[in-house]
Amino acid sequence: MQVSLETLAGLERKLVIDIPASDVEQEIAKRLDQVSRTARIDGFRKGKIPMRVIKQRYGQGVRQEVLGEQMQQGFIKAVTQEKLNPAGMPAVEPLVDEEGKDFQFSATFEIYPEVKVSGLENISVEKFATEVTDADLENMIDILRKQQAKFEVSESAAKDGDKVKIDFDGYVDGEAFEGGKAEGYDLTLGSKSMIPGFEDQIVGMKAGDEGTIKVTFPADYQSEALAGKDAEFKINVIQVEASELPELNQEFFKMFGVESEDLESFKKDVRGNMERELKQAIQRNTKNQALEGLLEQNSIDVPAALIDQEIQRLQEQAFQQFGGGQQFDPNMLPKELFQPQAERRVKLGLLINAAIEQLEIKADEAKVEALIEDMASTYQDPEQVKEFYKSNKEQRSQLEALALEEQVVETILEKATVTEKDSSYEEVIKAANNAQ
């Protein structure tokens, strides 16, 4: 077998492979002999069919079968010989396919880039420094109560936490705009689901009241045509539903899995959850900054085949989120929608794997166990979760990969410039959620 290698643009490579005619013809003859022993053709006894008839009937199919196998085997031998690491399947094209001549074909494919991680000392990370305060705790309990609030129609003025049903017409520069009108719109005041300032100006209005609300669209508003624009909304309040907050009693505590009648026990449980969420949010934010720095310091070429594979995975995930309905094909989702995320994931994957190899990072079993412990603590039966990961090798291997990734992040942080930033609980949680 003869092999020639051509370097194309970027990571693309082309192999031209020649397989001796004798190897091909020998394998074809062997296959035809096997066929002749079992073939059934009218007018001939089984096993007594002349070879010329066998060739005439089955020769072309057998040849294509043999050539397919030869191309597969030849490609594997060639990439091994040339010490190449293909990324994705090759595009194979027969070049010479004539009986009696050496079989020649080409295989075009991408290879994995050679990645060397550098510049870790140039990465800057701002780590949040905060703790759960008593005020944060009280605010969280207030949020939990509002989530369980009951509503009754009221003639009183609307207040924060109440529900209102409204009609509104929006105008920018005196002109109506798309999406700026609604009838019978249900809105919970204080939910921050509308433009900043919108809900605040409804507070104090009663059913039957009409008024004009003046607001400014945020500069980063999703619609460029409206971003930063001043707007007016004509409002008609149809109905006000006053909120009635539940009492802080055993019945309320049970909604959140706390059996105690003691308010202090409930507060302790809520604080524990908040502290765990805060810790995870700080870690997530810090990790995102470290990995973003890794990307900024290391520009690498990425095989398009790997990006396509990642896009397919993201499409499948989105498909599952839609419920996996039979009428919905994941491929209906445009690839462009997932392109940036897929490219980032692939780049990070290549860089993290390179860092693991380059920095000789080994899986830390203690870190794996810590991840399991942390995950188990969020479930009612932690021991069941621990046993699951102990007995399920595939799931445990995923946690081992995550542990390795965390170790890479720790290594980055050791070399990077890390400063602390005083912040609030709400700020940390919001930043972590926005980064997801």
DSSP 332: G
326 pLDDT higher than 80: no
Query: What is the percent of the chain where pLDDT is above 90?
Result: 58
% of the chain exceeding 70 in pLDDT: 97
**Using CA atoms, how far apart are residues 15 and 93, in angstroms rounded to an integer?**
10
Residues 347-371 have a mean pLDDT of 90
Q: What is the pLDDT of residue 435?
A: 67
**How crowded is the C-beta side of 92, counted as CA atoms within 13 Å?**
17
- Tell me the mean pLDDT in the region 225-241: 94
Band of the pLDDT at 436, cuts 50, 70, 90? low
Look at residue 106 in the predicted model and tell me its pLDDT: 94
Q: Tell me the C-alpha distance between 205 and 157, whole Å.
A: 5
pLDDT score of 322? 67
Nearest-angstrom CA–CA distance, 167 and 152: 20
170 in Cβ contact with 215 (< 8 Å) = no
3-17, 57-71, 119-133: range with lowest mean pLDDT:
57-71
Map out the domains of the chain as residue ranges: 2-111, 120-124+259-435, 149-244
For the four alpha carbons of 389, 392, 398 and 400, in that order, the dihedral sign comes to: positive
| Residues 2-12, mean pLDDT to the nearest whole number | 91
Choose the CATH number for 149-244 among 3.40.50.620, 3.60.20.10, 3.40.50.460, 3.10.50.40: 3.10.50.40
Helix (H) or strand (E) holding 92: strand 86-96
Instruction: Convert the pLDDT of each residue in 38-52 to its tens digit.
Output: 777 777 777 777 787
pLDDT score of 425: 93
Q: Closest Cα partner for 254 from 148, 162, 131, 344?
A: 148
- Mind listing the pLDDT tens digit for each residue in 161-185? 899 999 999 999 999 998 899 999 9
pLDDT at 303 over 80: yes
Q: Does domain 2-111 have CATH number 2.50.20.10?
A: no
Residue 327 pLDDT grade (very low, low, confident, very high; cuts 50, 70, 90):
low
Mean pLDDT, rounded, for 25-50:
79
What's the fold here for domain 120-124+259-435? Trigger factor, domain 2 (1.10.3120)
For residue 153, the surrounding DSSP H or E stretch is: strand 150-154
Average pLDDT taken over every residue of the chain: 89
pLDDT confidence of residue 334: 83
pLDDT value at position 323? 60
Q: Is 198's pLDDT higher than 80?
A: yes
